[in-house]
């Protein structure tokens, strides 16, 4: 086996192992936010590893660019879905407050509710 083959094999192995570990984490973690924490690791790092392995094993520059585009699309779309899921999870009360170390959003919302709205000077 050449160096590229070794590199591709190690990348594939690490990517698949990351997927498995994240699945175990998503099964065992207690609430929504920690499950999101476990689920988003293979979405980006695992995908990067697998794509690097595929690019090394196919060895064509055209396909390497295409795989770079795959990773870039994931960079763009993963934050969108994580943001939407986290926001609606907070708003529908699926965040367990006893597991949080710090909850700045609730403090901020309370402060915003308690301060009176200044009269507009228009």
Q: Under rule CB under 8 A, how many of the chain's residues touch another protein?
A: 53
Binding letters toward another protein, positions 40-69, x by CB under 8 A: --xx--xx--xx-xx--xx-x--x--xx-x
Contact (Cβ atoms closer than 8 angstroms) between residue 46 and residue 23: no
Q: Which listed residue (91, 101, 102, 120) binds another protein by CB under 8 A?
A: 91
- In the chain the first and final C-alpha atoms are separated, in Å, by 74
Residue ranges with strand state E in 2-107: none
What is the SS3 assignment for 1?
coil
Task: Let me know: does 50 contact 11? Beta carbons within 8 Å.
Answer: yes
Which residue from 30, 16, 49, 45 is spatially nearest to 99, judged by alpha carbons? 30
Taking CB under 8 A as the rule, does residue 94 contact another protein?
yes
Interface contacts to another protein, rule CB under 8 A: 1, 5, 8-9, 12-13, 15-17, 19-20, 22-24, 26-27, 32, 35-36, 39, 42-43, 46-47, 50-51, 53-54, 57-58, 60, 63, 66-67, 69-71, 73-74, 77-78, 80-81, 84-85, 87-89, 91-94, 109
């Amino acid at each position: 086996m050449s160096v590229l083959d070794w590199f591709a094999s190690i990348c594939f192995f690490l990517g698949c192992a990351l997927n498995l570990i994240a699945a175990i984490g998503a099964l065992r973690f207690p609430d929504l936010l920690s499950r999101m924490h476990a689920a988003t690791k293979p979405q980006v790092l695992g995908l990067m590893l697998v794509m690097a392995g595929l690019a090394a094993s196919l060895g064509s520059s055209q396909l390497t660019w295409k795989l770079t585009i795959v990773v870039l699309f994931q960079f763009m779309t993963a934050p969108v879905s994580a943001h939407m899921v986290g926001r609606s999870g907070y708003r529908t009360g699926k965040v367990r407050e006893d597991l949080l170390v710090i909850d700045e959003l609730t403090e901020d919302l309370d402060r915003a509710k308690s301060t009176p709205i200044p009269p507009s000077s228009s």
